[in-house]
């Protein structure tokens, strides 16, 4: 298929592009490079720099490359930033996504895989979290994802748009050439690996008094290649599904201290760790029920054991100690 990948220079989008190419699809990458990295794009991706909200440009791209399906990753994703600047998230995540849907309807492109988030659930009332769990976002980022999920249900009913919204839990890991490099970095594993590479840096645990076995938060980590495979299976199953919302989680949680210990074992380096205060809004435990995605797509998290995740991320980080930036820490 000819597939448009928005946010193709981002962490999950670039790895999904790799997997699509491996399965002989034609991939057109579309990204404004505000937070993505041009270097993350596989060489075979046909890249177009642009804004998702630019409907005229988007139409030209879809027509030129005869796009048959879209994987929509482009979004602002920093939760703290969403609380400070909700306007940015409504503009980038809601308005731009609706502009994309407008183009798809006009051009009769009826296949869409949407990158959603477990942030739509808010504070969990039960664990593991099923797709039927109440949605109650506690930040604009989660709210922006939920708005588009709801729109997709109505667009399916009104226009026949086939779509699957995939609610990620904690994406982690790397491939041989693509890894995790956010600026600023807020994700757990890259921060731990940074502390392993730079002994003068300390890693801070945000609270160790949660109602969990070791007092630290528990999260459901999924290897990013398994997440990419979920997108591909969802695309293959779209004609049968029509519209669906699916969790992408391992169904098994690891505490922050467990991830620290595994990182020390994989890297062979002791980490300097300190305990700080809790962050507002951090749930004690976020673990998905993966039963529905296994049943609907036949998906299996083949690489999502914690050691494999940390090893893959560490190998990439050793080859890219400054991420996608040069030796002097300055991005090209």
Domain ranges of the chain: 2-172+222-248, 188-219+251-319
2-172+222-248 and 188-219+251-319, same CATH topology: no
DSSP 254: E
Q: Which of 141, 155, 210, 254 is catalytic?
A: 141
Can you tell me the distance from the alpha carbon of 23 to that of 176, in angstroms, rounded to the nearest whole number? 17
Tell which CATH architecture fits domain 188-219+251-319: Alpha-Beta Complex (3.90)
Six token digits for residue 235: 């695309």
CB-based contact 19:3 (threshold 8 Å): no
The rounded average pLDDT for each run of 10 residues, N- to C-terminus, in the chain (332 residues) is 98 97 97 95 96 98 98 94 95 98 98 97 95 96 97 98 97 95 88 92 96 97 97 97 96 96 97 93 91 97 95 96 65 46
- The structure's pTM equals 0.94
Q: What is the pLDDT of residue 192?
A: 96
Residue 272: both structure tokens together: 């300097």
**pLDDT in the model for residue 182:** 85
Find residue 129's DSSP bridge partners.
Answer: 288
**Of the CATH numbers 3.40.50.150, 3.40.50.300, 3.20.20.70, 3.40.50.720, which one belongs to the domain with range 2-172+222-248?**
3.40.50.720
Token pair listed for 166: 């995939």
Instruction: Determine whether 324 is an active site residue.
Output: no
- How many other CB atoms sit within 10 Å of the CB of residue 290? 25
What's 119's DSSP letter?
A: G
Beta bridge partners of 162: 111
């Amino acid at each position: 298929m000819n597939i448009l990948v928005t946010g193709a220079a981002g962490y999950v989008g670039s790895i999904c592009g790799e997997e699509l190419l491996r399965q002989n699809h034609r991939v057109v990458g579309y990204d404004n490079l505000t937070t993505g990295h041009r270097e993350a794009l596989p060489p075979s991706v046909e890249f177009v720099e642009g804004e998702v909200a630019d409907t005229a440009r988007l139409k030209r791209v879809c027509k030129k490359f005869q796009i048959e399906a879209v994987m929509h990753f482009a979004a602002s994703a920093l939760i703290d930033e969403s609380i400070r600047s909700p306007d940015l998230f409504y503009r980038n995540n809601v308005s731009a996504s609706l502009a994309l849907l407008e183009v798809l309807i006009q051009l009769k492109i009826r296949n869409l895989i949407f990158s959603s988030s477990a942030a739509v659930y808010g504070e969990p009332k039960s664990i593991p979290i099923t797709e039927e769990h109440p949605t109650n976002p506690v930040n604009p980022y989660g709210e922006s994802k939920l708005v588009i999920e709801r729109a997709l249900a109505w667009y399916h009913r009104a226009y026949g748009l086939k779509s699957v919204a995939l609610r990620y839990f904690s994406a982690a890991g790397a491939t041989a050439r693509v890894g995790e490099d956010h600026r600023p970095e807020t994700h757990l594993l890259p921060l731990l690996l940074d502390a392993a590479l730079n002994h003068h840096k300390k890693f801070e645990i945000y609270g160790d008094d949660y109602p969990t076995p070791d007092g630290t938060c528990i999260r459901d980590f999924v290897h990013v290649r398994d997440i990419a495979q979920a997108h591909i299976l969802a695309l293959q199953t779209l004609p049968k599904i029509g519209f669906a919302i699916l969790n992408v989680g391992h169904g098994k949680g690891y505490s922050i201290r467990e991830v620290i210990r595994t990182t020390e074992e994989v890297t062979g380096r002791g980490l300097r760790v300190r305990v700080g205060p809790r962050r507002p809004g951090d749930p004690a435990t976020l673990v998905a029920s993966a039963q529905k995605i296994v049943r609907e797509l036949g998906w299996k998290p083949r690489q999502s054991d914690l050691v494999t995740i940390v090893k893959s991320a560490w190998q990439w980080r050793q080859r890219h100690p400054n991420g996608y930036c040069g030796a002097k820490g300055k991005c090209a």
